Amino acid sequence: MKNRFQSGEEERYHRQREHMGAEQLFNRGIRSEHVLAAMREVPRHRFVPPEDRPLAYADGPLPIGKGQTISQPYVVAAMTEAVDPAPGKRILEVGTGSGYQAAVLAATGAEVYSIERIPELAASARKVLESLGYAVHLSVGDGTLGWAGAAPFDGILVTAAPKELPPSFAEQLVEGGRLVIPVGALDQTLYRYVKLPDGELRAEALFSVRFVPLRKGE
Ligand code: SAH
């Protein structure tokens, strides 16, 4: 039988990913099969600088260049679970960064849109996503405005923290749609909002987090 891995290195990363799924995700309460499967599938090591690859599946955040970071695997999984992606659902991510979170969303079968303000990060994310075969719609610009041309979305996942919730996200959600977003300056809380029939958002605080700031209009 042909080996399904290209090299011993890929096989080692695969084992580390399985271990990450069991220890860091399942054992801490991540239960969505869609999310667990996506986290086991996406090669996180491909989204970080080569020198950080040995730590790609460790229980912490990682630098991705330009002073930005990818969240720890548990936070990526918990946010993905909270936004509840599924085949056919349309999900907007704000803050593409490395493209890792976008790949995890795409691996669940969702139709993914993602916006990044730093052109160099968007360009390298595009390259990695294409080379791995994840079809994600990418745009460079100010994500605080959402993506009006592709709205409405079933879910919006924001991976940088505004001090206060920008209004465009609620406007661009369908009724029943979910917005998952860290809010705050130094003390940030991750929230899940659900859009109610009257257009209001119902808030649910999930846990404390630490994200880079969502920068407006630059
Ligand atoms: N989700 C990313 C990590 C995001 S780090 C990943 O999986 O790798 C936060 C990102 O949000 C950074 O890349 C930062 O440049 C971006 N960002 C900050 N403010 C933004 C804005 N207004 N619009 C779009 N992207 C923004």
The total number of residues written for the chain in this structure: 218
Distance, CA of 204 to CA of 206 (rounded, Å): 6
Instruction: Name the residue of 68, 74, 140 to mutate for ligand 1: max ligand atoms within 8 A of Cβ.
Output: 68
> Amino acid letter at 109?
G
For range 18-28, the mean pLDDT: 98
* 147 three-state secondary structure: coil
Contact 91, 169 (CB under 8 A): no
How many A from CA of 216 to the centre of ligand 1?
11
* 11 three-state secondary structure: helix
* 184 three-state secondary structure: coil
For range 114-140, the mean pLDDT: 98
Contact 181, 162 (CB under 8 A): yes
For range 97-119, the mean pLDDT: 98
Q: Give phi and psi for 128, each to the nearest 5.
A: -65, -45
Phi-psi region at 67: left, alpha or beta (left = phi > 0; alpha = psi -120 to 50): left
Tokens read off for 155: 């879910």
Going by pLDDT thresholds of 50, 70 and 90, the confidence category of residue 7 is confident
Residue partners of 3: CB distance under 8 A and separation at least 6: none
Distance, CA of 20 to CA of 120 (rounded, Å): 29
Q: What is the pLDDT of residue 218?
A: 55
Q: What is the pLDDT of residue 2?
A: 45
- In angstroms and rounded to an integer, the radius of gyration of the C-alpha atoms of the chain is 17
Higher-scoring residue by pLDDT: 202, 2: 202
| CA proximity to 34, closest of 98, 92, 82, 100 | 82
Tokens read off for 101: 């979170």
pLDDT tens readout for residues 186-206? 899 999 999 999 999 999 999
Distance, CA of 162 to CA of 190 (rounded, Å): 11
pLDDT tens readout for residues 76-94? 999 999 999 999 999 999 9
How many A from CA of 115 to the centre of ligand 1?
8
Q: What is the pLDDT of residue 216?
A: 85
71 is catalytic: yes
Antiparallel, parallel or unpaired: β 188-195 and 111-116: unpaired
Distance, CA of 181 to CA of 82 (rounded, Å): 10
Ligand 1 atom with the smallest distance to the CA of 125 is: 8
Residue 49 Cα to chain centre, angstroms = 18
Name the catalytic one among 7, 32, 71, 114. Answer: 71
| CA proximity to 65, closest of 24, 100, 40, 104 | 100
CATH of domain 2-209: 3.40.50.150
Question: Does the CB atom of residue 100 touch ligand 1 within 6 A?
Answer: yes
Going by pLDDT thresholds of 50, 70 and 90, the confidence category of residue 3 is low
pLDDT tens readout for residues 145-165? 999 999 999 999 999 999 999
For the beta carbon of residue 205, count every other beta carbon within 10 angstroms. Answer: 10
